[in-house]
Amino acid sequence: MDKFKYRDLATSMTAFFFFVIGISGVMMYFHFFDDYVKELHEILGLVFVAVVFTHVYFHIKSFKSYFGKKVFTISAVVVLGISAMFVVNTPEGDNPKKTLIISMLDAPIESSLKVLNLDMQTLKERLKTNGIKISSSDVTISSIAKDNSISPFELVTKITQK
């Protein structure tokens, strides 16, 4: 492929990824299909960054002349200022979702089972079905997961599947 075809490909991919990332961002904002869109948005967002760098590489002369313009400087200051306000106005402390999840995973197993609407017998049956061992020293979901070399989230998925 010659340079112009690479430029066209980089520009086309940038436009299409921008479109998909924008639509999926709006869908996430309004909580449409959250479980499906979040992963798509995150993964394509990473690919989009690579595509944008490729686009800039093939159009570097145009970008150099554009970066020197006053409109670019004003736009950069406005976007960076708005972004900074979001970062500065973020509430201090841990993310409440993270706090709840960690608290549940590290709570005594009896408490976690209440939250999951399970009893000890059902837990033991589901663990056995999935080939997961539990010992007397396993008193939390985190410790069971650690002893079985799986993530606590994978463990919760296995014990909550019917």
8-31, pLDDT tens digit by residue? 888 899 999 999 999 999 998 888
C-beta separation of 34 from 28 below 8 A: yes
Computed over its alpha carbons, how large is the radius of gyration of the chain? 24
27-77, pLDDT tens digit by residue? 988 888 877 888 889 999 999 999 999 998 888 888 888 888 889 889 999
C-beta separation of 45 from 29 below 8 A: no
What does the domain layout of the chain look like in residue ranges? 3-88, 96-160
Q: What is the pTM of this model?
A: 0.52
On the question of pLDDT at 137 being above 70, the answer is: no
Residue 38: both structure tokens together: 């979040």
49 residue type, one letter: V
C-beta separation of 151 from 145 below 8 A: yes
